[in-house]
Amino acid sequence: MMRQYELVDRVRRYNPQADEDLLNRAYVYAMRAHGVQKRASGDPYFSHPLEVAAILTDMKLDDATIVAAVLHDTIEDTAATREEIDQLFGPEIGRLVEGLTKIKRLDLVSKRAEQAENFRKLLLAIADDVRVLLVKLADRLHNMRTLHFVPPAKRARIAQETLDIYAPLAGRMGMQGVRDELENSAFHHLQPEAHAMIEARLADLRDRNVTLIKTIEGELSTELVAQGIDAKVKGRQKSAYSVFNKMENKSIAFEQLSDIFGFRIIVKRVEDCYRALGVVHTKWPTVPGRFKDYISTPKQNDYRSIHTTVVGPGRQRVELQLRTQLMHDIAENGIAAHALYKDDRVSDNEALARESGAYRWLRRTIDLLAEGDSPEEFLEHTKLELFHDQVFCFTPKGRLIALPKGATPIDFAYAVHTSVGNAAVGAKINGRISPLLSELQNGDEVEIARAEGQVPPAAWEEVVVTGKARAAIRRATREAVRAQYAGLGRQIVVRAFERAGKAFSDEKLKAALPRLARQNIEDTLAAVGRGEMFSGDVVKAVHPDFKDDKKPRATATKKDPGWFGVGKGGNVVFKVPGQEADLDRSIPIRGINGDLPVRFAPNGGAVPGDRIVGILTPGDGITIFPIQSPALMAFDDQPERWLDVRWDIDPDKQELFPAQIVVTVHNEPGALGQIATVIGESGANIDHIEFVARSPDFRDVVIDVEVIDLKHLSAMIHELKQKAVVSKVERANG
């Protein structure tokens, strides 16, 4: 374990003005706070924060960051408090430590929700101070180095989380060295056999090509020196995880990989990068399609280099990266290489960080938080942003738009502005009309055709690849559904006023909003449409002296689950127990008789507890939908077909009603058996199952179930979400 003086010495090597007293006090405080706590390895727990601090000294970070690393687990795992940290070490360090502390006692029903909420908190803290990220990544790096001491089940969860979140996050922040180690460590624990096989093949290849690598390094160096270019040439080998990923993504064998070895040419100035490129391309033939200039167009994480591939000595394909030393430092250490918060340059360097591509990406990610998404949705959007390489496209005016690989013109439109995405109806790519689902390529010029009043189809959510586009489409869809509720609510309210012999107007309703505890007319009408407010209450709010002394219309009993009764005056009645007096609020339907066939909507059904709507089809009867069903949008322009219906349930007789759920499961043996067991034990019945391919790792299972009511269905969904094999459960009709 690192001693007190060793920590101080490590910092003073790169910062002779380090606050020795501050470092010593932090060391002693953390050692006493952690006391006799042990790690899974049996080592004193205090050794962990010291190793995290040591990793950060290698990045040459400031005193406050090193102290925060030493203290980073004190609030979470000891009796220490934020107030005490502030008092002893100052509010700056207290803020950093709190940003690294997981939220305790979360009242959440699933581990996934807890993970998402803690990740949300972490990113908010990172957006406030980038040093939180640096400590967190160093913390994760040391945890991965000691992961073999952790029990297997927990080990797999931590490794997967590292591969899903922390390694890509390090990459997005430009910290390639940290990313490589996190990925390889996670790969080693998740797929030990594949990792061992690739490492053995790489070692064998390295041994067999030692001479060739030295030959290429020598020839490149000689040629550059001959042209007066001062350069360092260094060969390198791809990591095991990088090789595995390429084999998986391109479905090729190890022997088919042609770029396992690469070479970096590091020069002093930017112009030397292009001079060296000219020398290389003059000396050896290039491989078509293998040239990328990330100096003139840097990646979002500030990565800058020129990439090219040539057919070099021995007719070998040689992958080259040309960069300056500063570019190399940023490529390896990313945001940490900006020398943030060092010496007296805090404000200038902080401004530099916040203008960097990495910070622009982070700010856009944080913007998703402001849109009211759930933690799970936020985590999903963030993963979408983390995983993809980039393509660079242009607007007709020349504005550069960076997008993930696989992006479509829809993603492009939302990247320009949310309003452009929502109104998009077509696209031109390089002057040619193209489908909105086309995959964009580097250098494409994209022009978006718009139509005001257009609502993005909900299906777009499944084809876009950016988190921003997906979040915006979800919001627009929700607004459209809300407008649908309001439209239905307006019909119900207008007819309620007609029955009461009163005139309805928006002005009168606006004056009555305080009595209804609603902010605006739209919210009020939507509440009526959703069944949260009775139309009679709206009439009474506008006309407080009004008394509804009409007798309820005659009711009819439900003959069977597929039929509803029709009361006098043509009311379709499916009443709720104990609410017979409300039946008069049903909308009268003229010219029909009591023998109309009534059926549940396909692909979702409806269950007692749902607010339901009937859609009349002449000659075919009535179809019952839950009010939240997206299928109702097809009838928005046909208000005459909408019927207000009520449940008529016998409380002494339990019947089963149809519903449909979509369960996303990990593709592993026994997953379906676990789902079926949960459904059976809940007292529900499985009517039909259909598998939908999604990816090699996940499957969507569409299950038609029969349940007693909405409470029964919700309880069953809750139990399904607790299963480790289940990634997501949704009701098909929303």
CATH no. for residue 229?
A: 3.30.460.10
DSSP 641: G
CATH code where residue 418 lies: 3.10.20.30
- CA distances in angstroms from 6 to 50, 70, 316, listed in the order given: 10, 13, 47
Q: Which tokens go with 323?
A: 């960069």
Determine how many CB atoms are found less than 10 A away from the CB of residue 295. Answer: 18
> Is 597 domain-assigned?
no
> Is 81 domain-assigned?
yes
Q: Which tokens go with 552?
A: 């309820």
* 175 and 27 together in one domain: yes
* 222 and 157 together in one domain: no
Pick from 683, 700, 682: which is nearest to 691 by CA?
700
Sequence-ordered list of residues with C-beta below 8 angstroms from that of 429, at least 6 positions apart, any chain:
409, 438, 440, 444, 445, 446
Q: Which tokens go with 557?
A: 């009993």
* 73 and 131 together in one domain: yes
CATH code where residue 14 lies: 1.10.3210.10
How far apart CA 555 and CA 536 sit, in angstroms, is 19
How far apart CA 614 and CA 646 sit, in angstroms, is 9
Q: Which tokens go with 125?
A: 């803290």
In this prediction, the residues of the chain whose per-residue pLDDT falls under 70 are 102-121, 123-127, 258-259, 314, 336-390, 530-532, 548-597, 618-620, 639-640, 648, 650-652, 693-694, 734
> Is 588 domain-assigned?
no
Half-sphere exposure of 502 (CA within 13 A, CB side): 22
* 145 and 63 together in one domain: yes
- The letter for the amino acid at 112 is R
* 35 and 179 together in one domain: yes
**How far separated are the first and last CA of the chain, in Å rounded?**
55
* 247 and 167 together in one domain: no
- Angle in degrees, 0-180, between the axes of helices 467-500 and 375-387, rounded to the nearest 10: 150
> Tens digits of per-residue pLDDT, 144-196?
999 999 998 889 989 988 988 888 888 877 788 899 999 999 999 999 999 99
What does the radius of gyration of the chain's CA atoms come to, in whole angstroms? Answer: 32
Q: Which tokens go with 448?
A: 């978006």
> Is 647 domain-assigned?
no
* 172 and 286 together in one domain: no
> Is 494 domain-assigned?
no
> Is 611 domain-assigned?
no
> Is 618 domain-assigned?
no
Q: Which tokens go with 551?
A: 């007798």
At CA 271, angle to CA 268 and CA 277, rounded to 5?
95
The number of domains in the chain is 4
Q: Judge contact between 167 and 351, C-beta under 8 A.
A: no
CATH code where residue 710 lies: 3.30.70.260
Query: Residue written as tokens 């030692």?
Result: 210
Stated as kind and residue range, the H or E segment containing 262 is strand 261-267
Query: What is the strand order of the sheet 231-237 is part of?
Result: 231-237, 261-267, 317-324, 306-311, 292-293
Q: Judge contact between 279 and 227, C-beta under 8 A.
A: yes
How far apart CA 719 and CA 676 sit, in angstroms, is 12
* 10 and 72 together in one domain: yes
Domain containing 385 equals: 375-477
- The letter for the amino acid at 208 is R
How far apart CA 249 and CA 212 sit, in angstroms, is 28
Q: What is the largest CA-CA distance in the chain?
A: 104
- The letter for the amino acid at 225 is V
* 104 and 170 together in one domain: yes
- Residues designated as active site: 76-77
Q: Which tokens go with 164?
A: 């899903």
* 175 and 321 together in one domain: no
How far apart CA 503 and CA 245 sit, in angstroms, is 68
- Angle in degrees, 0-180, between the axes of helices 375-387 and 357-367, rounded to the nearest 10: 150
* 113 and 172 together in one domain: yes
Phi, psi of 390 (to 5 degrees): -115, 155
Domain-terminating residue out of 308, 336, 364: 336
Write out the E strands in 521-620.
565-566, 572-573, 598-600, 612-617
Domain-terminating residue out of 477, 497, 519: 477
Q: Tell me, what's the pLDDT at 102?
A: 64
- The letter for the amino acid at 435 is P
Q: Tell me, what's the pLDDT at 405?
A: 79
698-707 vs 657-666, strand pairing mode = antiparallel
- The letter for the amino acid at 637 is D
Domain-terminating residue out of 418, 452, 477: 477
For the CA atoms of 592, 596, 598, 602, the dihedral, rounded to the nearest 10 degrees, stands at -90
> Is 252 domain-assigned?
yes
Sequence-ordered list of residues with C-beta below 8 angstroms from that of 111, at least 6 positions apart, any chain:
none
* 309 and 451 together in one domain: no
Which residue stretches of 164-283 are H helix?
A: 167-172, 176-190, 192-208, 210-226, 240-250, 270-283
The dihedral sign for the CA sequence 152, 157, 160, 166: negative
